[in-house]
Amino acid sequence: MNHQLTLISLVFFTSAIAETFKNLDSHPQFPCKPPHFSSYPFCNVSLSIKQRAISLVSLLTLPEKIGQLSTTAASVPRLGIPPYEWWSESLHGLADNGPGVSFNGSISAATSFPQVIVSAASFNRTLWYEIGSAVAVEARAMYNGGQAGLTFWAPNINLFRDPRWGRGQETPGEDPKVVSEYGVEFVRGFQEKKKRKVLKTRFGSDNVDDDARYDDDADGKLMLSACCKHFTAYDLEKWGNFTRYDFNAVVTEQDMEDTYQPPFETCIKDGKASCLMCSYNAVNGVPACAQGDLLQKARVEWGFDGYITSDCDAVATIFEYQGYTKSPEEAVADAIKAGVDINCGTYMLRNTQSAIEQGKVSEELVDRALLNLFAVQLRLGLFDGDPRGGHYGKLGSNDICSSDHRKLALEAARQGIVLLKNDYKLLPLNKNHVSSLAIVGPMANNISNMGGTYTGKPCQRKTLFTELLEYVKKTSYASGCSDVSCVSDTGFGEAVAIAKGADFVIVVAGLDLSQETEDKDRFSLSLPGKQKDLVSSVAAVSKKPVILVLTGGGPVDVTFAKTDPRIGSIIWIGYPGETGGQALAEIIFGDFNPGGRLPITWYPESFADVPMSDMHMRADSSRGYPGRTYRFYTGPQVYSFGTGLSYTKFDYKIISAPIRLSLSELLPQQSSHKKQLLQHGEEQLQYIQLDDVMVNSCESLRFNVRVNVRNTGEIDGSHVLMLFSKMARVLSGVPEKQLIGFDRVHIRSNEMMETVFVIDPCKYLSVANDVGKRVIPLGIHALFLGDLQHSLSVEF
* φ/ψ (deg, to 5) at 544: -125, 165
* Nearest Cα to Cα of residue 231 among 299, 280, 182: 280
Write the CB contacts of 647 (distance below 8 Å, at least 6 apart in sequence). Answer: 422, 427, 428, 590, 593, 594, 713, 715, 717
* Nearest Cα to Cα of residue 603 among 554, 651, 565: 554
Distance CA 230, CA 213 (A): 28
Q: Which DSSP string corresponds to 370-435?
A: HHHHHHHHHHTTTTSS-GGGSTTTT--GGGSS-HHHHHHHHHHHHHH-EEEEEGGG--S--GGG--
Given a contact cutoff of 8 angstroms between Cβ atoms, the answer to whether 288 and 241 are in contact is no
β-bridge partners, 649: none
Distance CA 222, CA 347 (A): 29
Pairing of strands 437-440, 475-478: parallel
Distance CA 138, CA 376 (A): 20
Distance CA 294, CA 159 (A): 18
313 is catalytic: no
Q: What one-letter code names the amino acid at 724?
A: F
Query: Which one from 162, 206, 311, 334 is the annotated catalytic residue?
Result: 311
Cα 396 vs. chain centroid, distance in angstroms? Answer: 27
Cβ atoms < 10 Å from Cβ of 674? 18
Distance CA 439, CA 494 (A): 11
* φ/ψ (deg, to 5) at 155: -95, 165
Given a contact cutoff of 8 angstroms between Cβ atoms, the answer to whether 258 and 768 are in contact is yes
C-alpha distances out from residue 773 to 121, 210, 257, 691, Å: 31, 33, 7, 7
CA contacts within 13 A on the Cβ side of 313? 23
Catalytic residue numbers read: 311
